[in-house]
Amino acid sequence: MNAIFSRMSKMLMIAVSSFVVSHSFAGVVLTGTRVILADGQNEKAINLQNKDVAPALVQIWLDEGDENSTLETAQAPFVVSPQIFRMQPNAGQTVRVRFVGADQVTQDRESLYFLNFLQYPAAKKQDADQNRLMVVFKNRVKVFYRPKNLVGNSAQTLDKLNFKFDMQTKQLSVNNPTAYYASVQELRLLAPSKDVLVKQNEMIAPYSTVSWSVKSSDSIPNTAKIKITLINDYGASAIREASLSP
């Protein structure tokens, strides 16, 4: 296997995406949009599928939030097996992800990590010693570790978020009083005269408050409402409209 990567090092490679690659381009895809180790679960089996007509070589690793991490540099309390493997066309592969950091995390809230898998397309033997352009696809998905006996459940997060707006600074504060991350797909401020997009694709950590600027030349009344969309455990959108807190 090391010989394969040695030959690949002679090729020019382009990382097409550092976050999520569209399924219409990447042949190797993960079943599901996130990985959740719930109730102190230490091991999870994830399933990959190669939907391409050609074989692929895959690398997989986890990190603590560094988008530029690699298999060699990543630091996360996980053991992955296998880490490097070949996938035949239209075939599946089960990978076991084992969490070994239960004694390193706070036990009253969930922790967030990221799983990366890099897809190298198959190279012909006659091209092995030649310089050529090879497109490499990188996917990145969230991994949540949830200790035992967390207060509440993740489905309650949407209804428990609180919102305050500062008229002078035009800052919208969002408080998450739960033990779970809020995966914000979109947040809008609904004023009588206009609809203002405040934020997209953000995370709000457990027991924390974030403040986001509202870019609007118009004044925002106290009667304005919030429309927020979260991504739930199943990768689906959950929507709530709420009033601003006094």
Q: DSSP labels for the chain? A: -HHHHHHHTTSEEEE--SS---TTT-SEEESSSEEEE-TT--EEEEEEEE-SSS-EEEEEEEESS-TT--TTT---SEEEESSEEEE-TTEEEEEEEEE--TTTS-TTS-EEEEEEEEEEEP--GGGTTS--EEEEEEEEEEEEE--TT-SS-GGGHHHH-EEEEETTTTEEEEEE-SSS-EEEEEEEEE-SS-EEEEEEEEEE-TTEEEEEE---SS---TT-EEEEEEE-TTS-EEEEEEEPP-
The class level of CATH for 154-243 reads: mainly beta
What is the pTM assigned to this prediction? 0.85
Most confident region among 54-58, 59-63, 130-134, 212-216 by mean pLDDT: 59-63
Whether the pLDDT of residue 14 is over 90: the answer is no
pLDDT band at 124 (very low <50, low <70, confident <90, very high): low
149: left (phi > 0), else alpha (psi -120 to 50), else beta?
A: left
Which tops the pLDDT comparison, 112 or 18?
112
Query: Alpha-carbon torsion 228, 232, 236, 238, what sign?
Result: negative
Q: Average pLDDT of the chain? A: 87
Domain 2-145 CATH class label = mainly beta
The residue ranges of every structural domain in the chain are 2-145, 154-243
User: Tell me, what's the pLDDT at 62?
Assistant: 97
Instruction: Tokens 């490097």: give the residue.
Output: 84
Confidence at residue 12, expressed as pLDDT on a 0 to 100 scale: 38
pLDDT at residue 132 tops 60: no
Instruction: Say if residue 16's pLDDT is above 60.
Output: no
Q: What is the mean pLDDT of residues 188-217?
A: 92
For 137-165, write each residue's pLDDT tens digit.
889 999 999 999 999 999 999 999 999 99
User: Which letter, b or e, does each residue of 19-38 get, where b requires 16 or more Cβ atoms within 10 Å of its Cβ?
Assistant: eebeeeebbbbbeeebbbbb
Are 2-145 and 154-243 in the same CATH fold? yes
Alpha carbons 245 and 236: distance in angstroms, whole number? 27
Q: What is the pLDDT of residue 222?
A: 81
Closest to 230 in 3D by CA, of 19, 34, 46, 29: 34
Quote the pLDDT of residue 193. Answer: 79
Judged against a pLDDT cut of 70, whether residue 6 lies above it is answered with no
The confidence score (pLDDT) of residue 172 equals: 96
Judged against a pLDDT cut of 80, whether residue 51 lies above it is answered with yes
What pLDDT, on a 0 to 100 scale, did the predictor assign at position 246? Answer: 83
pLDDT tier at 26, thresholds 50, 70, 90:
low
CA 159 to chain centre: 22
For residue 202 the two structure tokens come to 């953000």
Closest by CA to 230, choosing from 174, 168, 187, is: 187
